[in-house]
Amino acid sequence: MMAKAVILSTGDELITGRVVDTNSAYIADKLYGLGIEVIAVFKVGDTRERLLWALQHGVELGELVIGTGGLGPTTDDLTTEVVAEFLGRQLQMDEGVAEALRRRFTSRGVEMTPNNLKQALFPAGADIIPNPVGTAPGFRAATQDRKYLIWLSGVPREMEVMLEQSVLPWIAEQRKGTGAILASTFKIYGLTESKLGEILKPIPISDEVRLSYRAHFPDLSLRLTVRGGAEREKIFSELRARIQELIGSYIYAEGDETLEEIVGRLLLEKSWTLALAESCTGGYIGHRITRVPGSSAYFKTSAVTYSDDSKIRFLGVQSATLKQHGAVSRETALEMAEGVRRQAEADIGLSVTGIAGPTGGSPEKPVGTVWMALARDKESDARLFRFQGDRERVILFASQAALNWLRTSLLAGQNSSDGG
């Protein structure tokens, strides 16, 4: 019932490291949504031998093989003839496609070379897959043992259109009657991957129920997928509930929303504005906040005050505070948060000051020591964090902790009335 697929990405540029292959992930994601399992992705160069190898092993492992690349007019574009050889068929000119190519060149006033007509050749008996945004159409053909081969342009924009318009509807039609995969993604704050795995051990894993983890530092997410028969909706909702029970307090989103998107959404809901005073994070929190489209509605400023005198000048931190307690202290963090909130006339002021390293640490304040403070109308609060790792990790950790603190405080303040 076409449940298993293999994706072939072809082209010399892929195996020499010049180009990152994004096509296979795009296709895999779409197939996954239709309940098709991708068994493997093969990337091979443009040679007859490698293409034949990939086709052979593709149909061994999958009932459906989707390939991209090598449909162009140049001599290194071998795909169509190699696929025809693999299928044991002749190449045949499609008059409709040839005519469309001729018209295309005429309308552009460009002379068509004989090479270009190569793109109107297809394995005999194949169904042509139109390419509305480029010159090279794709095709679909069945092998003798009823496996399907689909070949698309390797240009991502063309591949995407061909997939959406022709391939996915055809697959959906073939798979009518089988159930889709149920999936949910949980985004996690405050657990390491190993700790998460430990806590989730009670969840029974099987061919039908899978948990996959993704650590894209400092982000950690978990995906639950359930496939199978009529019971799957019940099993899926039971497992979701079980996951919530086990790690609910660490889940900040179910779905793909990022911490900065959540913070933005909560600020918008309250019509509150935010100002930041960043020291060790150097502008990274401001960057995360502002990479969300529409953030200008709630974000006023980030004063990245790296030097002591910037903290005094831009934020009104007392020089006595800096002298007495140091730049990395509860007192300085509080004055920074309150200062930026006041100067920017924002509803919330958040400050971060710490030692990102590699130098600047001391026994009492080692590298990774970070003070943060949150200032609102009638209350301010400061917290101490100790992060592990190199400079980059401390910065990423600190930005994650700051955004999560903002998130929880915005949620906790749902009934508060100190916002403007």
- Comparing CB distances to its own copies, the nearer of 85 and 193 is 193
Q: Is 20 helix (H, G, I), strand (E, B) or coil?
A: coil
Nearest approach, Cβ of residue 374 and its own copies (Å): 18
Nearest approach, Cβ of residue 183 and its own copies (Å): 8
Asked if residues 361 and 390 have their Cβ atoms less than 8 Å apart, the reply is no
- Comparing CB distances to its own copies, the nearer of 34 and 416 is 34
Nearest approach, Cβ of residue 268 and its own copies (Å): 15
H helical segments located in 151-250 = 156-162, 168-174, 193-199, 232-247
CB burial string 18-51: b at 16+ within 10 A, e below: eeebebbebbbebbbebbbebbebbbbbbeeebb
Nearest approach, Cβ of residue 161 and its own copies (Å): 10
Exposed/middle/buried for 363, CB within 10 Å: 0-12, 13-18, 19+? exposed
Asked if residues 222 and 209 have their Cβ atoms less than 8 Å apart, the reply is no
Beta-ladder partners of 121: 93
Cα 386–Cα 387–Cα 388 angle in degrees, nearest 5: 125
- Comparing CB distances to its own copies, the nearer of 99 and 127 is 99
The candidate with the shortest Cα–Cα distance to 128, out of 101, 105, 162, is 162
d(CA 63, CA 39): 10
Asked if residues 352 and 372 have their Cβ atoms less than 8 Å apart, the reply is yes
- Comparing CB distances to its own copies, the nearer of 214 and 411 is 214
Nearest approach, Cβ of residue 414 and its own copies (Å): 25
- Comparing CB distances to its own copies, the nearer of 89 and 102 is 102
- Comparing CB distances to its own copies, the nearer of 160 and 381 is 160
Nearest approach, Cβ of residue 391 and its own copies (Å): 6
